[in-house]
């Protein structure tokens, strides 16, 4: 049994550690509960865009770092929904899904 | 020439425990390493901030997660709530907490009352498994090739009967569990710095712990000074 944290969780913890901000202070500034932070960090709740925006604000991230955090949030989602606009896009999505499943 | 036995803190404290499993050297080393950890998060004479240790010190030694999904027994059924935290016993690097334990540690006594004390004790105990290198090596050596988390079972047995007397608990890792307890008590109260015998209630209020743990800290202080005196002769 080992702990595998998402890219977002690892980055979030690194940012908190670099800034010496405790989870209590972070939760207060983000106006979220410690429970929500726990669930985002353990991966049972994917980070919402609101959560990511509040994190960016709380940690005072530059545009470049904010973009990186958004990217980590995107790749830390357990489910990704894609709505193809036409048949051609649907074909591409299905082909991509199959290639992932094969790999 | 015989030296007079020094006056120890809590010399007159009622004490009907059996002998500790750990020897004097181990006890002194545990208390000193817990004191050193306390000083690293700058709480020399204040309640220890376990949340800071979790965030800023633990990553140098291991990982943690607060996730109720890990609290399943070997058949995959949820373990009852008495198991609050456990440490991966193959390497002693991973600490698993129940989500409410994390919340209580972060939000504090004012928000969580008695639960905060239980959470503090559980997390402090798990720190005792992770922060000492020779302890981790013994964990790894004993559990080589073990697929399940032995400690989860041990901790669960303990959770059902919160016995402080490890000599009565039927487990081959009783010595490690006792060491983790001692580390926890020394982390909460700087027992090596006690020069007199403050009242249990006073200790409990000053260091934000319950009176049961304050009593255990007093017994540890007594044993620590005795061990130091014996080792110095």
Q: What is the DSSP letter of B53?
A: I
* pLDDT top residue among B193 and B170: B193
- Dist. CA B82–CA A59, nearest whole Å: 36
Residue B108 has what pLDDT?
92
- Dist. CA A78–CA A76, nearest whole Å: 6
Residue B151 has what pLDDT?
52
Chain A CB within 8 Å of residue B64 CB: yes
Domain boundaries, chain A: 7-102
Chain A CB within 8 Å of residue B107 CB: yes
pLDDT digit string (tens) for B56-67?
A: 999 998 889 998
Contact B106 A27 (CB under 8 A): yes
Residue B144 has what pLDDT?
66
Residues of B in contact with A34 (CB under 8 A): 102-103, 106-107
Contact A34 B102 (CB under 8 A): yes
User: What does the block give as tokens for B113?
Assistant: 């009352």
Name, of A75-89, B69-83, B143-157, B204-218, the range with top average pLDDT: B204-218
- Dist. CA B196–CA B219, nearest whole Å: 13
pLDDT digit string (tens) for A47-84?
A: 999 999 999 999 999 999 999 999 999 888 767 788 88
What's the pLDDT band for A44 if we cut at 50, 70, 90?
A: confident
Q: How far is CA B76 from the centre of its chain?
A: 28
Distances (CA, A) of A49 to A56, A59, A77, A81: 10, 15, 11, 15
Q: How far is CA B58 from the centre of its chain?
A: 15
Distances (CA, A) of B61 to A86, B128, B147: 52, 12, 22
Q: Is the pLDDT of residue B160 over 80?
A: no
Residues of A in contact with B65 (CB under 8 A): 3, 5, 41-42
Q: Does domain A7-102 have CATH number 1.10.260.40?
A: yes
Q: Which residues contact B194 (CB under 8 A, 6 or more apart)?
A: B9, B221
Burial class (CB in 10 A: 0-12, 13-18, 19+), B15: exposed
Q: Which of residues 9-28 of A touch B (CB under 8 A)?
A: 13, 16-17, 20, 22-24, 27
User: What does the block give as tokens for B159?
Assistant: 């959770």
* pLDDT top residue among B215 and B80: B215
Residue B212 CB: number of other CB atoms within 10 A?
Answer: 14
ipTM of the complex: 0.78
* pLDDT top residue among A81 and A13: A13
Three-state DSSP at B63 gives strand
């Amino acid at each position: 049994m080992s702990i595998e944290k998402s890219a977002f969780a690892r980055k979030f913890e690194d940012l908190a550690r670099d800034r010496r901000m405790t989870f209590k202070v972070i939760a207060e500034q983000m106006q979220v509960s410690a429970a929500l932070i726990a669930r985002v960090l353990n991966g049972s709740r994917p980070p919402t865009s609101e959560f990511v925006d509040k994190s960016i604000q709380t940690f005072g991230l530059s545009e470049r770092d904010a973009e990186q955090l958004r990217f980590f949030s995107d790749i830390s989602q357990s489910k990704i929904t894609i709505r193809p606009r036409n048949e051609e896009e649907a074909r591409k999505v299905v082909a991509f899904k199959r290639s992932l499943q094969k790999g | 020439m015989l030296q007079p036995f020094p006056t120890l803190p809590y010399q007159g404290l009622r004490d009907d425990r059996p002998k500790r499993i750990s020897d004097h050297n181990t006890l002194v080393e545990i208390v000193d390493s817990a004191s050193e950890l306390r000083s690293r998060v700058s709480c020399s004479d204040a309640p220890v901030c376990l949340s800071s240790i979790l965030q800023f010190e633990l990553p140098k030694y291991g990982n943690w997660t607060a996730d109720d999904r890990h609290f399943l027994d070997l058949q995959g059924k949820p373990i009852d709530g008495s198991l609050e935290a456990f440490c991966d016993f193959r390497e002693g690097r991973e600490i698993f907490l129940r989500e409410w334990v994390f919340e209580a540690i972060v939000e504090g006594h004012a928000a969580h009352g008695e639960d905060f004390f239980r959470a503090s004790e559980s997390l402090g105990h798990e720190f005792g498994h992770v922060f000492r290198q020779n302890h981790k090596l013994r964990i790894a050596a004993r559990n080589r090739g073990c697929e399940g988390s032995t400690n989860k079972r041990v901790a669960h047995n303990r959770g059902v009967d919160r016995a402080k007397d490890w000599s009565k608990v039927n487990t081959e890792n009783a010595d490690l569990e006792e060491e983790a307890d001692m580390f926890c008590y020394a982390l909460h109260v700087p027992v090596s710095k006690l020069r007199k015998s403050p009242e249990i209630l006073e200790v409990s209020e000053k260091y934000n712990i319950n009176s049961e743990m304050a009593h255990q800290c007093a017994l540890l202080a007594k044993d620590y000074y005795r061990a130091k005196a014996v080792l110095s002769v």
